[in-house]
Amino acid sequence: MSEMVQLVDEDGNFQRAVERDEVDEYPDLHMVIVELVLMNSVGEFLYHERHPSKSEAGKIDHVCGAVREGETPEEAARREALEEVELEVGELKEVARGVNEYGRYRMLFVGEFDQVPTLSPTNEEASYVAKATLDELQAIQTAGQLFVNSFFSSIDQAVSI
C-alpha cells in the first residue's frame, strides 16, 4: 500500500484522499504538493541533486513532496526537508499556490537555512546538497546541469515577496 495523499480541485478545495499510486485515476483533481525554497542571509539558495532512484534523477531541485492525508502543508514542508536534505527548518512563509506544469496543486513556501546539512549515507532522496547564489545556479545550468522545470521560476516567486 502506498501513502495516502490529498487531492483537490483547481481552486485548492479538498476533494478526497487516495493512495499515491491511484492519483492518475482522478484526472480532474490535483495531488497537493509543497515546494520549499530555502535561502540564507547572504543570498544563497539551498539545492540538491535528485537521487538516482527518484523520478527526474540527477536533476537539481528544491525540497518538494506530497502532502499526506491528515497533514497540513507546513507539516509536509518540514517533513520533506528532513527526508530530502536532513534539515530542520524554522519559520516558513507560504508565497504562492496553484496548479503547476506537472498538474499538481503546488504550495510554495520560503524558509531560511544557516548551514548546508551533511547527508547520511542512507539518504535515498538526494545525491548531494549544496548552496549557491542565483548567478552561480544559472552558471551551473549553462554548464549543462539539468534542473527540474520550475526551479528558477520558484526562486523568482520566492524572492519577489
Question: Looking at residue 17, what is its pLDDT?
Answer: 96
Give the pTM: 0.93
d(CA 114, CA 100): 29
Question: Looking at residue 1, what is its pLDDT?
Answer: 62
Question: Looking at residue 160, what is its pLDDT?
Answer: 84
Joined grid coordinates for residue 60: 537539481
Question: Could you read off the pLDDT of 78-113 as tens digits, one per residue?
Answer: 999 999 999 999 999 999 999 998 999 999 999 999
Q: Do 36 and 111 touch, CB atoms closer than 8 A? A: yes
Joined grid coordinates for residue 42: 547572504
Which residues have a Cβ under 8 Å from the Cβ of 4 and sit 6 or more positions away? 17, 18, 19, 20, 68, 69
Q: Which of 51, 46, 16 is nearest to 32 (CA)?
A: 16
Q: Hunting for cell 539558495 — which residue is that?
A: 45
Question: Could you read off the pLDDT of 18-65 as tens digits, one per residue?
Answer: 999 999 999 999 999 999 999 999 999 999 999 999 999 999 999 999
Joined grid coordinates for residue 143: 554548464
Question: Looking at residue 161, what is its pLDDT?
Answer: 66
> Which residues, in sequence order, are bridge partners of residue 39?
45, 112
Q: Spelled out in words, what is the top-level CATH class assigned to the domain 4-159?
A: alpha beta
pLDDT band at 2 (very low <50, low <70, confident <90, very high): confident
Question: Looking at residue 6, what is its pLDDT?
Answer: 96
Q: Hunting for cell 499515491 — which residue is that?
A: 20
Amino acid at position 76, single letter = A
- For the chain, the domains span 4-159
